[in-house]
A and B are shown apart, each in its own frame.
Chain A
């Protein structure tokens, strides 16, 4: 901006100096962003290319050679029942957890944005606090709570809701449910903070005006809050989708992917392929590219949907 203003009316006398200054500023700018750009290039783009090259290789352990045909690993993906299962698991988490979480976060943020609300800081802190706990830690807490002889079963039996302990982590449905509950617990507050921040940039009188016009709470929510927050909803949706497709810690620590791999996530499978048993790094790289493509496609769809409603 400032450079534009400076160059707007160059006087003949200072023109050369200003052009020189502008050039210097531009160079300073490049210098400012070089460390970050180089780091991203070396730590993300270069490995991404490497990963693609690796995905064209086969072999076990440390002995790798070019695959023949060259797309062998990619063709193999389509026959991989376990990979299909982990895709299914991950998408179940995605489809159930992300919408519930974002809606809950929106509702909580809307409530917390109410000017007449008391103890705002208390509620916000309480709801956000789970985010301070690491994924590994909360996985362990949930594992303990949902153990066969653990607190949840004791409580349910104490309330006579069930007769015998439920083996939560050993049944497909309940194991997935525990992971989804964990994700909701851990991330709802995080997204809420983003919505709250966005809500605070909206003129509060907009909400009051809607109310004066006779809109009830629900109508205000759908016709005023949601449209105003659309960019932020889009951002959180993309972030959550991206995060869900990369789930690892919960699958690894909470359920160990069981029972029968029915709660295993794609990243967990990738780790298993690459670093456990008979490592197949080439094939693992192909799996990682498949994940990359899924993330990219979903992000593109979300952006498209997010834009269209404008």
Chain B
């Protein structure tokens, strides 16, 4: 009896939580196919305006350029962050020494530094180096993060040292071992790290807003935010833009979700 009740409560909680989670997303998708008036009128059924909205969006904004900038930023940040942080996390664990542990602890301290505290000097630094408005300026601060290094260090703990020793005896170089042995066994960690980094980079707003002065460099998040500044907002078009901006991260998450969960689990073990 109580067992049944317990199960009922469990499913009820899950259903409510899932509905609440999905509703704004559903609203976003449905609204992208409706007119501005219908969006404000809370129409919750799909409409016929998708193409009209798409035309309006493409006409009003340089959507493709913004998507391209966001992709470039997110992909380069993710690739570089995975390389740099995986190598470092592996280095800290596999070759660990007291000196390296001390360095790791110092690096971990930067987890406490709010971005706001470094934003102004970073802006001045990149400006003085003539790098304002450049992709490099957007991605550089996001490549090396203590969180990712920690994630890779934790998962490197489960990397069997027998393999390492065997490979060394076989005469493989250290870098070869990393590339051929470590990367393939740590796929799920890489997936988790990729999901976190890609989402962070794709969704980043404050820093691109500061460092990308020219409108021609704007990212998709900046494009959406600038809708707010416009005089008359077409909510259907806005919701379509929001949908377009969210699709890449959603798709990546859905594809990598299993490995993502395993990667996080592997790291906390």
Contacts and interface: CB of A to CB of B under 8 A. Distances in A.
B114 A126 contact: no
Contact of A44 (B25, B100, B110, B174): B110
Contacts of B238: 140, 144
B13 interface: yes
B120 A249 contact: no
Nearest to B140: A43
Contacts of A130: 21, 24-25
A296 B210 CA distance: 25
A155 B42 contact: yes
Given A185-B24, A196-B261, A267-B114, A37 B121 contact: no
A41 to B, nearest CB: 9
Q: Is the interface of B mostly helix, strand, loop or mixed?
A: helix
A47 B118 contact: yes
A254 to B, nearest CB: 9
B10 interface: yes
Contact of B199 (A3, A50, A132, A299): A132
Nearest to A290: B117
B149 A248 contact: no
A40 interface: yes
Interface string A239-259: 000100110110011001000
Contacts of B161: 1-2
B267 to A, nearest CB: 8
Interface residues of A, number: 100
Q: Is the interface of A mostly helix, strand, loop or mixed?
A: helix
Nearest to A282: B120
Interface in A1-29: 1-3, 25-26, 28-29
B264 interface: yes
Contact of B261 (A193, A248, A292): A193
B84 A137 contact: no
Nearest to B28: A141
A141 B25 CA distance: 8
Contacts of B215: none
Contacts of B141: 43-44
A37 B242 CA distance: 36
Contacts of A253: 225, 228
Given A51-B117, A51-B121, A125-B254, A29 B95 contact: yes
Contacts of A114: 10
A94 interface: no
B214 interface: no
B21, B24, B97, B117: most-surrounded residue (chain A CB, <10 A): B117
A37 B103 contact: yes
Interface string A27-59: 011111101110110011111101100100000
Contact of B116 (A40, A132, A143, A288): A288
B92 interface: yes
A266 B116 contact: yes
Interface string A265-294: 011001100110000010011001101100
A172 B178 CA distance: 54
Given A125-B254, A130-B24, A40 B112 contact: no
Interface in B30-86: 31, 39-42, 44, 84-85
Could you say which interface size class chain B belongs to? 35 or more
B235 A132 contact: no
Contacts of A54: 120-121
B124 A36 contact: no
B120 A284 contact: yes
B88 A136 contact: no
A201 interface: yes
Given A28-B174, A111-B14, A198-B268, A33 B21 contact: no
Contact of B113 (A26, A48, A127, A270): A48
B87 A32 contact: yes
Contacts of B87: 32-33, 35-36
Interface string A91-130: 0000000000000100110011010110000111111111
Contact of B13 (A37, A111, A249, A275): A111
User: Which 9 pairs from chain A and chain B are nearest by CB?
Assistant: A29-B95, A32-B91, A151-B42, A134-B203, A36-B88, A50-B121, A39-B144, A47-B118, A47-B121
25 contacts: A28-B91, A33-B87, A33-B88, A33-B100, A35-B144, A36-B85, A37-B144, A44-B113, A47-B118, A47-B125, A54-B121, A117-B10, A123-B17, A130-B21, A131-B199, A133-B249, A134-B249, A154-B42, A188-B17, A197-B264, A201-B265, A217-B6, A288-B116, A292-B114, A292-B117
Interface of A: 1-3, 25-26, 28-33, 35-37, 39-40, 43-48, 50-51, 54, 104, 107-108, 111-112, 114, 116-117, 122-138, 140-145, 147, 149-152, 154-155, 185, 188-189, 193-194, 196-198, 200-201, 217, 232, 238, 242, 245-246, 248-249, 252-253, 256, 266-267, 270-271, 274-275, 281, 284-285, 288-289, 291-292, 295-296, 299
Given A108-B13, A136-B245, A140-B227, 6 more contacts: A3-B95, A32-B87, A43-B143, A50-B125, A130-B24, A296-B112
